[in-house]
Amino acid sequence: MEWFRFFRGAAALALGLAAAGAMADTPATLLDGFNAAARSAGEGPGSAARGQEFFNQTHGNEWKCAACHGAVPTAKGEHAVTHKVIEPMAPAFNAQRFTDAAKVEKWFRRNCKDVLARECTAREKADVLTWLISFK
């Protein structure tokens, strides 16, 4: 009987791991999270118009998102200092974009500090991602 409990526990663990793997991050699930966080902060959901404006304007510093990523997020950009190529930001034009929550948070944190001298709010992230998802 002991082996049966072990087998049942191992099977449940395997099913749980398979389900977790099936729930990979997607641009839509990340946007849902940003929108939920924005609502919790008393703000509305992401707006493509605000996202485009945010991406293409400076925010008190010299930098703007478009300086490196390009004003057209369906094309490759180039880092303004290192000249390293940056793949398109729009998920429809780069299947790897916005598929790993940890990477998304890392890059938002780093780039927002460069552009804004602070971290982005959940609404700002939702705005940018809403705009980027709108490209088909």
| pLDDT tens track, the chain, 136 positions | 444 343 344 344 344 334 444 457 999 999 999 999 999 999 999 999 999 999 999 988 788 999 999 889 999 999 988 999 999 999 999 999 999 999 999 999 999 998 999 999 999 999 999 999 999 9
Residue 77, beta-bridge partner list: 86
Q: Let me know if residue 97 belongs to a domain.
A: yes
The CATH number linked to 102 is: 1.10.760.10
Q: Which two tokens stand for residue 30?
A: 């990340």
What residue type is assigned to position 10 of the chain? A
Q: Let me know if residue 115 belongs to a domain.
A: yes
Q: Which helix (H) or strand (E) holds 38?
A: helix 27-40
Does this model's pTM top 0.95? My answer is no
Counting other chains too, the contacts that 55-60 makes at CB distance below 8 Å and 24 or more residues apart are 55/128, 55/131, 58/115, 59/115, 59/116, 60/116, 60/117
Q: Let me know if residue 46 belongs to a domain.
A: yes
Q: Let me know if residue 89 belongs to a domain.
A: yes
Q: Let me know if residue 103 belongs to a domain.
A: yes
Q: Let me know if residue 16 belongs to a domain.
A: no
Write the DSSP assignment of 46-112 as a string of letters: --HHHHHHHHHS--SSS--HHHHH-SSTTS-EE-TTT--EE--SSGGG-TTTT--HHHHHHHHHHHH
Range of the domain at 45: 25-133
Q: How far apart are CA 118 and CA 116, in angstroms?
A: 5
- Residue whose entry in the numeric block shows the structure tokens 């072990």: 6
Q: Let me know if residue 4 belongs to a domain.
A: no
Supply the pLDDT for residue 24.
75
Residue 44, SS3 per DSSP: coil
Q: Let me know if residue 5 belongs to a domain.
A: no
Please give the tally of structural domains in the chain.
1
